[in-house]
Amino acid sequence: MLLKRRLSFAELPESLKDVTLETFTINAYENPKSKDTARKACEGIKYYLKNFNSLKTAGMGLYIHSNTKGSGKTRMAASVANHIMQNTTLQARFATSTRIITEIQSIWDDKTGTQSVSKLLNDLSRISVLIIDDFGTEIHKAWVEEKFYQIINERYINNLPTIFTSNCRLEQLKYDDRITNRIEEKTFQIAFPEESVNLPTIFTSNCRLEQLKYDDRITNRIEEKTFQIAFPEESVRKAIKRKNHEELIENITK
């Protein structure tokens, strides 16, 4: 019950509420280099979680990065959050960086004033474990930088761990040193594979594969990764009509 309440407070998207480290599979990647990177990332994260009690006292978090979309960073960050919530009494909170910024903006536009913005910033600054997903994808503006500085600095001073996922390596972020130095000091940087996880795709189409107008780069990949299932060349309505007609003829001729 308590865990349930803590999980809902964490604001994890529904699809990420049950993900765990145990269900992370290296085989989701095809490329041997990716498998190797994923194995190392997984070892690093297991080490982090095994020593979490002492590392959290020092405010150590994680910076999970890879330039490639869909490589499993968010899923891993959510697995870490779930693990922490299941094994400690700490409260974690998940938020995409864009959501943090739009929330600040909407409170601001709502004219509920600086006080509400401060409350949101305080909440994010004080939560035991904060997960900032997709850090670096938000629009880069001076005020955005200032708000992130406030959150990150407050957490830095109070030794509260933050787990970031990002499509940028730390040195590729557009933020200035005040932010990146603090992240560097307080996180283990975990490289994720530069490969999207191989997930099955189900296509339906009015064309056979060779009739598609796309070039070979696309059709070859589809050909390699799908079973092609031919469906009847007759509409269901027509088929029902035909069947009724056949039954009628059969009854008449009986």
| 72 binding partner (options Mg ion, ligand ATP, none; Cβ < 5 to 8 Å by kind) | ligand ATP
β-partners of residue 62 are 163, 188
Per CB under 6 A, the list member of 56, 65, 73, 155 interacting with ligand ATP is 73
Please choose, out of 7-15, 66-74, 94-102, 170-178, the segment that lies near Mg ion by the rule CB under 5 A: 66-74
74 binds ligand ATP (CB under 6 A): yes
Q: Where are the alpha helices (DSSP H) in 51-96?
A: 52-57, 73-87
Distance (Å, whole) CA 104 – CA 82:
26
Q: What is the C-alpha R_g of the chain?
A: 25
Tell me if 65 sits within 8 A of 168, measured CB to CB: yes
Per CB under 6 A, the list member of 4, 50, 69, 217 interacting with ligand ATP is 69
74 binds Mg ion (CB under 5 A): yes
Shortest distance, position 188 Cβ to ligand ATP, whole Å: 17
| 197 binding partner (options ligand ATP, Mg ion, none; Cβ < 5 to 8 Å by kind) | ligand ATP
70 binds ligand ATP (CB under 6 A): yes
Shortest distance, position 145 Cβ to Mg ion, whole Å: 21
Distance (Å, whole) CA 111 – CA 235:
57
Per CB under 6 A, the list member of 71, 79, 97, 125 interacting with ligand ATP is 71
Decide whether 76 or 84 has the Cβ nearer to ligand ATP: 76
Query: What tokens appear for 67 in the block?
Result: 């330039």
Decide whether 74 or 79 has the Cβ nearer to Mg ion: 74
Decide whether 125 or 187 has the Cβ nearer to ligand ATP: 187
Shortest distance, position 167 Cβ to ligand ATP, whole Å: 5
Tell me how far the alpha carbon of residue 227 is from its chain's centroid.
28
71 binds Mg ion (CB under 5 A): no
Tell me if 14 sits within 8 A of 42, measured CB to CB: no
206, burial (CB in 10 Å: exposed 0-12, middle 13-18, buried 19+): exposed
Q: Is 96 helix (H, G, I), strand (E, B) or coil?
A: strand
State the pairing for strand pair 162-166/92-96. unpaired
* Interface mask toward ligand ATP for 167-206; x: CB under 6 A: x-----------------------------x-x-------
Query: What tokens appear for 108 in the block?
Result: 């601001």
Query: What tokens appear for 225 in the block?
Result: 């990764």
72 binds ligand ATP (CB under 6 A): yes
Q: Which residue has the CB atom at the shortest distance from ligand ATP? A: 72
Tell me if 163 sits within 8 A of 132, measured CB to CB: yes
Would you tell me which residues interact with ligand ATP (CB under 6 A)?
A: 24-25, 28, 69-75, 134, 165, 167, 197, 199
Would you tell me which residues interact with Mg ion (CB under 5 A)?
A: 74
